[in-house]
Amino acid sequence: MRLLTNAAILAMIFVMAAPVHGFRADTDERPILPWDLVIQKEKPELPIAKVMFDSSHSFDALHYSIHMTYPFNSGTFSAYCEMRAVSNENNLSQVELDMVHLVADGVSGERWVDTLSFTRTDSTIIVNLAEPLQTGDTFTVRIRYHDTAQQRGMYYYPRNFYSMAEPYDARWWFPCYDKPWDKATGNVEFIVEDPDELSLQSRMASNGSFWGVYYSEIYTIYNWETDIPMSTYLFCVALLDSCAHWTVNIPDGTGDSIPCMYYVFREDSALAAYDFANVPHMMGAFNYYFGPYPFEKYGMVAVTPFAYGGMEHQTMTTINRSWINGTRANEFGIAHELAHQWWGDMVTMSDFRHIWLNEGFATYAEALFTEYFYGQNTYAPRIQWYQDYYFIYDEYYGRFPLFDPVAIFNAAEYFKGALVLHMLRGMMGDEAFFNGLRQYGQLYRYGNASTEDFRAVMEDVSGLSLFTFFHQWIYEPGYPEYRYAWSYSQSGIGYVINLNVAQVQQNAPIFTMPIQYRIHTATGDTTVTLLNSQQLQTYDIYVTGIPTAVDFDPNHWVVCKVQLVNSIDDFGRIPQEYSLLPNYPNPFNGGTVISFILPKDEQVKLAVYDINGRIVKTLVDGWVEKGGHSYRWEATLADGSPAAAGTYIYRLDAGGRKFAGKMTYLK
């Protein structure tokens, strides 16, 4: 899915940013990949990320057959939906489907005469089967229902009638087991009544193959069928009055071609022909990077009004009519939705906690399209634009991990998600990265995958250990902010550069990343890659010529802010001073880490106090070596019992001074 607002805000930032970059996508200067040196974090705190799959539920939906009758130019519809499914357990006697607002008129089984009893809740229908089923038994449940379009799931406006269901609204237009990981094939029969009033130019678009249209004096019937499994949120119908429709054959990457079917209002057809003209190039780009197009057809249907930019319904994207204006201004949106056919539709995230696997991939694909079609020099500005936008979003809308966001379609999933792929490409190199994407696509083709599934494939392909990479970028919030300083001295016949790098971000982890440095010297330039994994880190780099400059991440592979400072004294967190750092995370609910830096060995006390100044827990009281130290408070009292939720003070007593910070414990 693509939001309208992102595009609008991005357009504004793009004008402001005017990025200039030295990065080239075809650079030979790949990092040296020091990932094998990365020591895994001792105690990974991955969220409990149970991944569901077909056999983990009492039944597995196989096919939905939706038959919808629509009196032309009204918001009402009557329908029946047949779900064919297989039981995953013995003695299955009830089937519960998601079904909201729709009025159930009756339920039957394999045959229409096999009436089944049912009960309703606010959000489901529970069908009592005729007899208990055993594991492996297939069965059919047919639910007749009617409703008026609630502008949720189904939308009615005078010129069009369409569905839009991501993430959880399929249940507002057909009863189904509405989980993205339970894919099923489907067919839609769409019966338009009262064709006297029906413009002969109206048309209906849906998923899969078009099986034809049948006209009679009293109704028109459209039939579509898809035999490739699909998540419920990707099922779609859209009927346009006064519709222009045409088909373009596009190479699908296998040497064959697929039909690309367009449906727009008649008066928009000339503009649309221009706006859609680069779709074959988008298809060419994604065939090249991701592998052959995975479905039997593609298409776009334009509706209005539409609360979104575009929605990647499997093989039939619904777009906002405003994207058609004869300027191609929204062609990156069109590319985004096409890319979702691979990432979102062919491979669907296992559940919406992993939404970055859909939106980050489709957003990154926009940058690949521009690199492929408009030239390699257009890739870096687009990546820079993503980073600029992500930083602004992070600053003004809040910081949180990509995994399991509160608001699913937040901009970070799109832009930071895309940047995660950009960084992976930088670390792995083009060959391994794109091989990895294609293998991931093949392995989870027509199924579902989680972040961990994607990580496993990329580790297999690259031989790298990517645990820390995914942990910090997907399961932790924020990004690194580096400060660096350098100086040099003579060393034998050459010179030694003393490079100091600090990470000064707050409310984010300390990041472990390979960083490239370009060293400029009087006798030439050289690039080195060094692993950075600590809050303060010092390196000695030997060169033969007099050093004149040190560039940090010159190819812009790492999502970060960078500041070159004159000397280590400018860090603000230098070991020559006492420093108590903000605890992380804050607020917290499991535990939190408090860090400080000492300029010399000495007696210190670090303790947690309540807001009345009473001591709650002493974390250290004794001699501590100079340098940085971290202590974890598990939110317990001195006797080990749990602390109450609330505000606490942590205080460091060292060098005759007191340093304090405030933190919030949530339960």
| Residues found near Zn ion in the complex (CB under 5 A) | 1-2, 359, 362
DSSP labels, 162-203: EEE-TTTTGGGTS-B---TTS-EEEEEEEEEE-TTSS-TT-E
CB of 340 to Zn ion, least distance (A): 5
Rounded to whole angstroms, how far apart are CA atoms 554 and 298? 40
Rounded to whole angstroms, how far apart are CA atoms 521 and 542? 11
CB of 103 to Zn ion, least distance (A): 32
338 vs 598, beta carbon nearer Zn ion: 338
CB of 344 to Zn ion, least distance (A): 7
**DSSP structure class, residue 343:** B
> 187 near 65, Cβ under 8 Å?
yes
Amino acid at 655: G
7 vs 513, beta carbon nearer Zn ion: 7
| H or E stretch at 436 | helix 430-443
- Omega before 167 cis (within 30°)? yes
334 vs 362, beta carbon nearer Zn ion: 362
75 vs 167, beta carbon nearer Zn ion: 167
390 vs 469, beta carbon nearer Zn ion: 390
CB of 363 to Zn ion, least distance (A): 7
CB of 336 to Zn ion, least distance (A): 5
223 vs 341, beta carbon nearer Zn ion: 341
Q: Which of 392, 201, 228, 393 is nearest to 294 (CA)?
A: 228
CB of 423 to Zn ion, least distance (A): 20
CB of 282 to Zn ion, least distance (A): 14
> 275 near 326, Cβ under 8 Å?
yes
Rounded to whole angstroms, how far apart are CA atoms 651 and 633? 13
Neighbours of 458 (CB within 10 A): 24
7 vs 654, beta carbon nearer Zn ion: 7
203 vs 313, beta carbon nearer Zn ion: 313
CB of 135 to Zn ion, least distance (A): 37
Bridge partner residues of 65 (DSSP) = 82, 187
CB of 362 to Zn ion, least distance (A): 4
CB of 359 to Zn ion, least distance (A): 5
412 vs 541, beta carbon nearer Zn ion: 412
CB of 210 to Zn ion, least distance (A): 25
CB of 189 to Zn ion, least distance (A): 29
Neighbours of 298 (CB within 10 A): 24
Non-local (6+) Cβ contacts of 460 within 8 A are 436, 439
CB of 303 to Zn ion, least distance (A): 17
> Over 14-35, what HEC string results?
HHHHCCCCCCCCCCCCCCCCHH
> 338 near 323, Cβ under 8 Å?
no
Rounded to whole angstroms, how far apart are CA atoms 57 and 589? 31
77 vs 233, beta carbon nearer Zn ion: 233
234 vs 458, beta carbon nearer Zn ion: 234
268 vs 337, beta carbon nearer Zn ion: 337
CA 195 → CA 80, 218, 419, distances in Å? 21, 6, 51
CB of 306 to Zn ion, least distance (A): 14
63 vs 416, beta carbon nearer Zn ion: 416
332 vs 482, beta carbon nearer Zn ion: 332
Give CA angle at 593 (588, 594), nearest 5°. Answer: 120
User: What b-and-e string marks burial along 582-604, b requiring 16 or more CB atoms within 10 Å of the CB?
Assistant: bbbbbebeeebbbbbbbeeeeeb
> 650 near 660, Cβ under 8 Å?
yes
Non-local (6+) Cβ contacts of 225 within 8 A are 186, 187, 188, 208, 209, 211
**DSSP structure class, residue 400:** -
Rounded to whole angstroms, how far apart are CA atoms 204 and 70? 11
Q: Which of 595, 648, 645 is nearest to 620 (CA)?
A: 595
345 vs 553, beta carbon nearer Zn ion: 345
Non-local (6+) Cβ contacts of 131 within 8 A are none
3-class DSSP state of 409? coil
CB of 313 to Zn ion, least distance (A): 12
